[in-house]
């Protein structure tokens, strides 16, 4: 479980380092969220030129849950409700994630990610966190150097 959760966090660290902002939401956060799941979407500086370009080729996102419980996906060209299908450039990362909590902090310009994984995420027949069904929780802070805090 530790390898699976750390793989997802490493993927996020690599990709979110390229976040440059988001013009979709009014509070100037670089992220948007979907109401039926935990999703973070952002504009990425994929050209590495320091310019925010808000078009489909520069949008990225992560989606947890929704109609696919315990799964987490990475999407290029995400449409908010479609970031879990191959039509949105989705890449499947894990099916054992039981909790995904992003927390964007503007004062220090980072996003905190809490991620919990469990071997058998529905907890049947053994509850998560037992010796027969191990779980792990990891937390990281991802600095986003290209996102302005003003």
User: Which one-letter DSSP state was computed for residue 133?
Assistant: B
Give the residue with greater pLDDT, 23 vs 53.
53
Taking the model in full, what pTM does it have?
A: 0.83
The count of other CB atoms within 10 Å of the CB of residue 123 is 14
Q: Rounded to whole angstroms, how far apart are CA atoms 31 and 144?
A: 12
pLDDT tens, position by position, 40-56 = 777 788 887 877 777 77
Q: Any idea how long the chain is?
A: 150
At residue 7, the pLDDT reads: 96
Q: Rounded to whole angstroms, how far apart are CA atoms 37 and 69?
A: 9
Confidence of residue 34 (pLDDT cuts 50, 70, 90): low
Give the residue with greater pLDDT, 113 vs 21.
113
Q: Rounded to whole angstroms, how far apart are CA atoms 139 and 112?
A: 7
Mean pLDDT of the chain, nearest integer: 79
At residue 87, the pLDDT reads: 59
pLDDT tens, position by position, 54-87 = 777 777 888 887 667 898 888 887 665 556 665 5
Give the residue with greater pLDDT, 142 vs 77.
142
Considering Cα of 26, then 100, then 74, then 112, what sign does the dihedral take? positive
User: What phi and psi, each to the nearest 5 degrees, are found at residue 86?
Assistant: -65, -20
The count of other CB atoms within 10 Å of the CB of residue 74 is 19
At residue 85, the pLDDT reads: 61
- Cβ pair 136, 1 in contact under 8 A: yes
Give yes or no for residue 31 having a pLDDT over 70. Answer: no
At residue 30, the pLDDT reads: 63
Give yes or no for residue 138 having a pLDDT over 70. Answer: yes
Contacts 24+ apart (CB under 8 A), 70-73: 70/95, 70/96, 70/97, 70/98, 70/121, 70/122, 71/95, 71/97, 72/8, 72/97, 72/100
pLDDT tens, position by position, 90-124 = 888 999 999 988 887 766 778 888 999 999 999 88
């Amino acid at each position: 479980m530790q390898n699976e959760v750390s793989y997802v966090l490493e993927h996020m660290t690599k990709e979110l380092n390229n976040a440059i902002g988001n013009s979709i939401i009014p509070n100037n956060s670089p992220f948007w969220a979907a109401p039926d799941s935990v999703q973070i979407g952002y504009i990425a500086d994929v050209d590495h030129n320091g310019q925010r370009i808000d078009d489909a080729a520069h949008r990225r996102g992560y989606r947890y849950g929704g109609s696919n419980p315990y799964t987490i996906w990475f999407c290029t060209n995400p449409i908010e409700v479609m970031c879990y299908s191959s039509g949105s450039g989705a890449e499947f990362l894990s099916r054992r994630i039981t909790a995904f909590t992003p927390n964007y902090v503007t004062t220090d310009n980072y996003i905190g990610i809490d991620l919990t994984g469990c071997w058998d995420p529905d907890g049947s027949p053994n509850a998560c966190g037992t010796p027969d069904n191990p779980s792990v929780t990891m937390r990281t802070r991802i600095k986003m150097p290209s996102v302005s805090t003003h």
